[in-house]
Amino acid sequence: MERGDIYNVNLDPTQGREQRGQRYVLIISPCDFNNVFGTPLICPITQGGNLARSESFTVHLTRLKTQGFILCNQPRVIDMKARGGRFVEKVPQDIIDEVLAKVTTLIE
């Protein structure tokens, strides 16, 4: 599991406004962390995300097999193995950089 990998996972169970169900996610934590703990920090990918888009907290996926918007306002840690994660593809570095810049604004 490397930063920039897209996986397909089941995010259930969830509560409230958390993204749920079977969906694509982008891993944003570094490979060393992911390999040690097996719980990567991810951002869900959606076809909707209207509020997040209107507030500039999404990154649009283009040029890839996976389509949609990365929700940078909903990072979370998941147990990839327990959620049955399957590797799909890797995003280019410019997408990773844009996502990390948006997520960083949440904790500064």
Query: Residue 17 corresponds to which amino acid?
Result: R
pLDDT at 49: 60
Query: Residue 88 corresponds to which amino acid?
Result: V
Going residue by residue through the chain (108 aa), what tens digit of pLDDT does each one get? 999 999 999 998 776 666 777 899 999 999 999 999 999 999 999 987 676 566 688 999 988 999 999 999 999 999 999 999 999 999 999 999 999 999 999 988
pLDDT at 23: 94
Are residues 68 and 89 in contact, defined by beta-carbon separation less than 8 angstroms? Answer: no
pLDDT at 48: 75
pLDDT at 17: 63
Measured in residues, the chain has a length of 108
CA count, 13 A, side-chain hemisphere, 11: 25
Domains of the chain: 5-104 (2.30.30.110)
N-terminal to C-terminal alpha carbon distance within the chain? 26
44 strand-pairing partners? 25
Report the C-alpha gap between 83 and 15 in whole angstroms.
16
